[in-house]
Structures are given as C-alpha cells and as structure tokens.
Amino acid sequence: MRVLVIEDEARLLRNLAKALREEDYAVDTATDGEEGLSKAENSDYDAIVLDIMLPRLDGWQVLERLRKTKKTPVVFLTARDTLADRVRGLDGGGDDYLVKPFDLSELFARLRAVIRRSAAQPTAEIRLGDVSIDTRARTVAVGGRPVSLTAKEYAILEYLAQQHGKVVSRTELYGHVFGEREDTSNLLDVHVFNIRRKLACDLITTRRGHGYCIEK
Ligand code: CA
C-alpha cells in the first residue's frame, strides 16, 4: 500500500511517516498544499492523509482540486474540532476525519477502512486459482497450504492480485511498494523471483518491456 502524507508540522510528519513505514506502507510526504497536490495528481496512492491548515493551499483546496481528476481516498487530519469543519471536510469529498491529537492505531484502522471501501473489495479474501490471499490477516495460501512471504513480497503479490488481468508497469509497482525514497534497482525482480519460488506456481507473468501481470 502506498500513502501520501501532507502535513506541515515537521515533527508530526516525521513520526507519521515512520509509524506508517513500520506498518509496511510505502510513504511519500509533502510539507505544503501545492507540493502535496502535485504528488497526489501525479501518482496513484491508495490513500492520502491530509492536514487542513497548510501553507500555500489548505487541505480543503487540495481536496477540491484533486477531486477534479482523482478519487484517491482522503483522511483529514486537523486540530479543528467544530461540527461545521467536520461537515465541510466530508461534504468536500473527504472520506474520513481525525482530530489531533489522535491515536496512531486509530489512524491505521481508518486508513485500512477507506482503502478497503475504495477498492470495492467486499471480502477480505482474493482467490486466484489455487492461490488465496487474506488481505486482512495479510496471509497467503496455495491449495490451502500457508506460504510465508516477507512484507514486501506480500505487498507486491497483493497489488498485482487486486489488478489481475491488467499489466502493472515496473514503475507503478515499485512506487506502490517502496514509495519515492529508494532508488530503482533489481529489487523488484528479486522479490518477484522469491514469490514465484515460494508459491511454486507461475501466477505472476513477466511482460518484457511492460511490467508484471497476473492473468487470471
Ligand atoms: Ca498544519
């Protein structure tokens, strides 16, 4: 899962990014509304955590402009706690709302919920032939036999599975799993190689020059 956090308080931003990375999210960050909007428009995030009081563009303006092109789920973060603000955030196309100070576990739960809703994934399980993926427990089984994947391997498999039938470019997959921080290398190939070895089946197809695909 790849998320963007737009927050101008440096310490809070750092702590949020660190906590989300520990939860195995790929995290990109922005410290003002303009930078945030530009990243949000130019990448496909699974969710955006958006502060309201921001320099350059405030959170409401970011959301209003973003909604012209993208439906990426947005969780507002704000110090404001009046009813009118909450209503404005949700009416403007925000998906959820958290008032500072908040508990990290609550943010994680809300992120999982908005991501699930936006993926229109009615159940937590994805089945592709013999392979079943439990997206809530983040576990994988082949023919009922549990397979142990690392967090990155799981993230790659889950993303391809959610988009099965579609070719996912290396850039898109890399961004989804690693965010903007690490440089591109053959890491993806190594992870895909390991997934194939562990699943002992050729679920993931390589489309040379295009990317990866689960065809079923
Ligand atoms: Ca702020």
Q: For 197-212, write each residue's pLDDT tens digit.
A: 999 888 999 988 889 9
Q: Report how far residue 113's alpha carbon sits from residue 146's, in angstroms, rounded to the nearest whole number.
A: 25
Give residue 86 CA to ligand 1 midpoint distance, Å: 16
Give residue 55 CA to ligand 1 midpoint distance, Å: 8
Give residue 163 CA to ligand 1 midpoint distance, Å: 35
Q: For 90-101, write each residue's pLDDT tens digit.
A: 777 778 888 888
Proportion of the chain above pLDDT 70, given as a percent: 94
pLDDT band at 139 (very low <50, low <70, confident <90, very high): very high
Give residue 11 CA to ligand 1 midpoint distance, Å: 11
Give residue 46 CA to ligand 1 midpoint distance, Å: 22
Q: Which residue has the tokens 């579609």?
A: 166
Are 15 and 38 in contact by the 8 Å Cβ rule? The answer is no
- Amino acid present at 188: L
Proportion of the chain above pLDDT 90, given as a percent: 52
Average pLDDT over residues 164-187: 81
Rounded to two decimals, the pTM is: 0.71
Least confident span in 19-33, 171-185, 202-216: 171-185
Average pLDDT over residues 177-201: 83
Residue 24 has pLDDT above 90, yes or no: no
Q: Which pair of tokens denotes residue 52?
A: 């309201």
Residue 82 has pLDDT above 80, yes or no: no
- Amino acid present at 51: D
In this predicted structure, what is the pLDDT of residue 57?
Answer: 94
